[in-house]
Chain A
Amino acid sequence: MGLLDGRVACITGGTRGIGLAIASAFLDEGASVVINGRDAAKAKRSMDELGAGDRLHFIGGDVKQRSDCEAIVNGTAKHFGRLDILVPNAGGGSDYAPIAQLTDEAMQDALVWSFWHTFWTMRAALNLMIPNNYGRILAMSSVEGKMGKPGISSYVVAKHAINGLVKSAAQEVGTLGITVNALCPGAIETDIMKQDGPGAAQAMGLTYEGLLEVFANDSAVKRLNEVGDVAAVAVLLASDAGSGISGSLISIDGGTSPY
């Protein structure tokens, strides 16, 4: 018997990295899962690997678009008949630079990708969850949701904003059987980190390897985190035992964050 038997989850950016690890862990615990991504071919490869049959469904879409965010959430409820767990997991940034050189577009992109997408999916999900008096929302924040770092302010700002949204939402729906929490992982070498890391490193005046070293050295464990670390916490928060945990910003960062 799984901890999430019969539950239906929706994970944005679920075709790789942390989102895929959460999808896999949720499936292992008996949930049905919708994963989202922009690339249907990539999604198909991930779905073939997971081999979960009818319990896994893909909804394509770009989380930088409000209509796509709403379609992903509402599409999950339509496909599986309900929505119990939302993981707004997608996010990132582009054209990182020190603030003195940061463009409006780069700041906007990070905010839309991480923060607005979390708000859009959360709002749509709450409208489904409130009538059911049940729900779990696990927003993907970051150690950068609690700390600042030079050169990646757009990412830091978006993740801090997510933490504020999570704390407020938790207070709004606390008596309705809905919990809202944020996961704050340390650096993980996911595909997106490999893709965007070199640009972020440059904005921080580092090489990509130097960037990974800075993150590892900030931690107590002196190494990067792994996607499975995050998935294990996600399962706990999504389970019945997580009903008393809300408005929390859970650090999964090898001891990096000060609080």
Chain B
Amino acid sequence: MGKLDGKIACITGGTRSIGRAIAEAYLAEGATVVVNGRDEAKGQQCLKELNAGAKAAFYAGDASLQSTVEGLIDFTISKYGKLDICCLNSGGVQMTAPIAQMSDEEWKLEIDWNLNHVFWGMRRALNHMIPRQYGRIIVTSSVEGKLGKPGIAGYSTTKHAVNGLVKSVAREVGTLGITVNAILPGLIETDIVRETGPSSAIAMGLESYDAMIALFTQESAIKRPNKVEEVAAVAVLMATDGARNMTGCLFPVDGGTMPY
């Protein structure tokens, strides 16, 4: 018997890295999962690898767009009849820069991708969850949601904002059977970090991608990057019925990096 038998989940950015690990962990615990990603081919490949038959589905779209986020939630409810667990996991940067050089386009993208996507998703999900008096909303924030770093101000700003959103919404729906939590991972060498890491390293004034990885790991107590499975285990815990009293929680998975 799984801890999430009969539950229906959707995950933005679910075809790879953290989102993918959450999808796999949820499936292993008996849930049905809809994963989202931009690339149709990658999505189909992901479904093939998940090998979960009718218990997994893919919804294509860019999570920085309102239509995608709301569409994913509507699709999940229409296909599986309900939504119990909404993981708002997608996020990142494209071409970050020190604020003095930050473009409006990049700033707007980071706000849409990291913050508005979470707002759009929460609002849509809550309108389904509130009448049902049940729900789990799990946001992938970051260690940067509590700390600042030069060169990635947009990311840090939006992740801080997401933490505020989580804490406020947890209080709005605290008595309605709905929990709202954030997971704050430290650096994980995900595909997206490998893709955008080199330019982020430059924006941070570092000589290389490796230097950026070293900086993050040196700030931790464990002196290594975190792993996607470590985040997924927390996402499972937060999704269970037993976690009904855990809400508004900013759960670090950062090897002891953040001070509070």
Contacts and interface: CB of A to CB of B under 8 A. Distances in A.
Contacts of A1: none
B30 interface: no
A219 B74 CA distance: 31
Contact of A221 (B175, B229, B234): B175
A158 B243 CA distance: 27
A167 B220 CA distance: 11
Given A254-B174, A254-B245, A259-B260, A232 B222 contact: no
Interface stretch (A32-40, A69-77, A106-114, A245-253): A245-253
Interface stretch (B101-109, B118-126, B247-255): B247-255
B171 A232 contact: no
B214 interface: no
Contact of B237 (A170, A221, A236): A236
A254 B230 contact: no
Interface size class of B (residues with CB under 8 A): 35 or more
Contacts of B242: 228-229, 232
A258 interface: yes
A100 interface: no
Interface in A191-226: 219-223, 225-226
A221 B247 contact: yes
Interface string A158-183: 00000000010011011100010000
A233 interface: yes
B38 interface: no
Nearest to B259: A167
A70 B91 CA distance: 47
A247 B233 CA distance: 18
B174 A233 contact: no
B175 A244 contact: no
A229 B167 contact: no
Centre residue among A229, A254, A255 by max chain B CB count within 10 A: A255
B244 interface: yes
Centre residue among A173, A225, A252 by max chain B CB count within 10 A: A252
A253 to B, nearest CB: 8
A252 B243 CA distance: 9
Contacts of B257: 247
A220 B249 CA distance: 11
Contact of B253 (A175, A222, A232, A245): A245
B249 A241 contact: no
B223 interface: yes
Contacts of A94: none
Contacts of A245: 230, 234, 252-255
Query: Lowest 8 CB-CB distances: which A-B pairs, in order?
Result: A174-B221, A220-B174, A247-B256, A255-B248, A241-B233, A244-B230, A246-B256, A255-B247
Interface of A: 167, 170-171, 173-175, 179, 186, 219-223, 225-226, 228-229, 232-233, 236, 239, 241-256, 258-259
15 contacts: A175-B222, A179-B256, A233-B237, A236-B233, A241-B230, A243-B222, A244-B224, A244-B226, A245-B230, A247-B221, A247-B257, A250-B252, A254-B247, A255-B174, A258-B167
